[in-house]
Amino acid sequence: MQAFNKKLLVLGMGGTIAGRSQAQGDNVGYRAGELPVESLLPRGVNDVECLANVQIETRQIAQMDSKDMDHATWFVLARAVLAACADEAVAGIVITHGTDTLEETAFFLSQLFTPSKPVVLTCAMRPATALSPDGPQNMVDALCVAANPSADGVWVVAAGAVHRPTQVAKVHPYRTDAFSSGETGPVGVVEEGRLRWLHPAGGNSFARTPSTAASRQFEGSSNLGPDANALLARLESQGLPRVEWVVSHAGVTPAAVTTCLMAGGEGGAVRGLVLVCTGNGTFHQCLTKPLRDAEACGVWLRRSTRCTQGSIVVGATSVDWPVAMPLDPVKARIALSLDIARHDLAGLTPQATAPVPG
């Protein structure tokens, strides 16, 4: 019997990596989330040097196309990750996930808590039944990162690159190297089972910067503050506070704000808005009044940018709405939701008690 000195846990969420198509040559006409997670482990995985003495266990958390990801599934996954991090027998966690919302799930987990073990999300752009699937190599690379004690924190591993959740984004709808960390580049690479850091591994979490008039910035929800279990329990019982986007564009009207705030339905009242700005945090003048009205009613506001690279350089402006730096709109929305939830959990005076403007 082989003696193992380390255990890794693989949590399956479905996605293309578990997808199946009718024809091997079909890389687009497939159904995601068809194969069980245990079938995704490549044969001979323990022949890889860094995995030679590693026991690999699998657990199916969900089986879905990640385009359909929802908050309730996030909470189930987060519970499993928290439990695994508390288990002394588990050295690292790998999460197999669909590519469409992988960056959102990774960022949510990274902002919920700071794990003392590697938590590595991986994926595939081709289904498992493809002639040349990319999932098996991505799985091996992710396992190698999860087995590396220097990799504590949440990471995304795909196409041989290691990305921070705060910076990674899916930038191509088809290529196998569909993920990018923009101008910063990946933080590391996996080369034949060996993890090589290109940048310091630390710093997956954000720290809040001081608020100073028009220059105040917001850099994502801090991992300090309430215990992750307490925060997660509140999210499970009350859901993530509802945050929506307002995109500034040519021809936009004030209705972009007012209609968004008046929308009801599942999720409750809108507690926050992320303003997706043009360029360096600017936006159409017609949005100023409805946004100020919303703020007066207690709606939280954050600014992000439509630009795919760089971040907003804050200077003296006519508005004092924090900038979600350096987060893109997708992650800024999650960060604001968590910030509001932490505010609520701390028992601070609610900011969204007044009715929204009609």
Q: In degrees rounded to 5, what are phi and psi of residue 250?
A: -60, 130
Dump the DSSP string for 292-315.
HHHHHTT-EEEEEES-SSS-----
Distance linking the first and last C-alpha atoms of the chain: 70
Q: What is the DSSP-derived secondary structure letter of residue 356?
A: P
Q: Which residue has the tokens 């040097």?
A: 49
Contacts 24+ apart (CB under 8 A), 288-295: 288/318, 288/319, 289/254, 290/254, 290/257, 290/258, 290/357, 291/246, 291/257, 291/319, 291/321, 293/357, 294/257, 294/261, 294/356, 294/357, 295/321
Token pair for residue 284? 């159409």
Q: Alpha helix locations (H) across the chain?
A: 71-86, 102-112, 135-146, 228-238, 255-262, 288-296, 329-345
Among 70, 93, 97, 77, smallest CA distance to 16 is for: 97
Question: Length of the chain in residues, anyone?
Answer: 358
Please, what is the angle between helix 71-86 and helix 102-112, to 10°?
50
Bridge partners (DSSP) of residue 273 are: 244, 301
Catalytic residue from among 16, 96, 129, 305? 16
User: 246 - beta bridge partners?
Assistant: 275
317 is catalytic: no
Half-sphere exposure of 179 (CA within 13 A, CB side): 31
Question: Contact, 157 vs 122, CB < 8 A?
Answer: yes
Which residues belong to the active site? 16
